[in-house]
Chains A and B, each alone.
Chain A
Amino acid sequence: MSRNVLALAAGVFFGLVIVAVAVFYNPFVSQQELSPLAVTDNEVVHLSYSVAATDALVYTNNGESQIAPHPPRVAQLWEPTVLDTTVSVNVLKDSRGRVAGLGVKFASDSDETSILDGKALINSVWHIYLPQRGSLSIQQTENYWRYIQDIVFPAYRSSGDNWRGNWLQTISDGPGPLGLGWAAGGSGEFAGIDTSAVEALSAKAYTIDLGPVAMTGELSIEMPPAKPGTSGEPQ
């Protein structure tokens, strides 16, 4: 009798392990690696920032997460409604590596997250101000499934509690078609435009203690073609 109970318990354990492995390595889950904007004929504005919290001007969360707020005395988001939210303020650089402006990023866990579908979702919104160009907001859903699979999990498995490598992945997963995020222009050369945007992560190092250590976020914003008569050229 007791042997049967032990066998049943061991079976349940193995069954749970099988489910966990099958879900984690689900071969039917795919995520596009490259930006759909890579093939557009329109001008694309590229902006980059360091994902490491200590490189941000300000990074805050609930104060109990793996990544510590920065600077340490910043107000923390401990209230229940914002407990799963992070806010970071980043210096944005253009494609030549020059400082181009500031970006405030709000990101919250999404209740549409579905482990069975390979979707570890985050709803995020950017508030971007580029002093010489204008301002805009980017709204998107991000999928971190591949990030967890390829970086976070291997870091936990590693004896050194870290991950190193070269990893590039588009994390935007909607709400637009082809997983594109939406950008709405506010002022300057972005005034009035509604367009597509994509965010990708380029990672080189991650540690369990600090989170992303050497990781760059790359924003690509498609600029719609100028309408005839708006380019300033004589008609």
Chain B
Amino acid sequence: MFKSLIAGILLGIVAGAAAIYFVPVVDLARERSIIDVTPNGGNREVFHANIPDDRILIGVPDQAEPLPRGLEWPRDELFANSRTELFKIRNANDVVVGVASRIAASGPDGGIVEWVLHLPARGSGYILMRPKAAEETFRSGDLRSGTREFAGLVGSATERWVATAGGDAGPAGRLELSTRFVGTLEDES
């Protein structure tokens, strides 16, 4: 019986160590990246947020109907000229692949429009837009930095609003973010 106990302890130690080593603690769900290769233009990947369904937050002071309901946005003068939004982000197959923040602010120096994309299984990207929209149809900008899959990439992005039939709840449509990122030679070496 004593030998069985010792054998069991050794078996338990081996089994436990093997389980900890081989069984992943975190197993993130992944979606296939849907990327077009454009002629002389790098890799194009389009993300979008369906509005209003994918909007998590509209952060502006004194909203009549705050989103989310119950939000108490600070009335500090500091935030008077800024707008912070959160979205779920979808790929071209309309599947949620991540979350994103968009901060826009106006100021004497022209203001800012910025995105941070966070795709849990792939990495994050920080995109700086030029505040002024081109022909009032789209706004363009550049990837400032990225992590993991987006680390070491350079490229541009454009955002545009694609309207669909709206309802009583306000404007409906798609906020589209089209990215064109490419690796650098430095990254490949």
Contact = CB atoms under 8 A, between A and B. Distances in A.
B26 A109 contact: yes
Contacts of A57: 59, 71-74
B92 interface: no
Interface in A83-120: 83-85, 87, 89, 91, 99, 101-102, 104, 106, 108-111, 113-116
B36 interface: no
B182 interface: no
Interface in B11-64: 11-17, 20-21, 24-31, 55-57, 59
A16 B12 CA distance: 5
Interface stretch (B132-140, B143-151, B154-162): B143-151
Contacts of A224: none
A74 interface: yes
Interface of chain B, main secondary structure: mixed
Interface string B108-122: 010010101011110
A135 B56 contact: no
A106 B99 contact: yes
A135 B30 contact: no
A99 B74 contact: yes
Contacts of B9: 11-12, 14-15, 18
B59 A77 contact: no
Given A7-B1, A89-B57, A186-B114, A115 B25 contact: yes
Interface stretch (A126-134, A151-159, A198-206): A126-134
Contacts of A23: 20
A75 interface: yes
Contacts of A4: 1, 4
Interface of B: 1-2, 4-17, 20-21, 24-31, 55-57, 59, 68-74, 76, 78-79, 81-82, 84, 86, 88, 95-99, 101, 103, 105, 107, 109, 112, 114, 116, 118-121, 123-124, 126, 128, 144-148
Interface of A: 3-5, 7-20, 23, 57-58, 60, 71-75, 77, 79-85, 87, 89, 91, 99, 101-102, 104, 106, 108-111, 113-116, 123, 125, 127, 129, 131-132, 135, 137, 139, 175, 182, 184, 186-188, 194
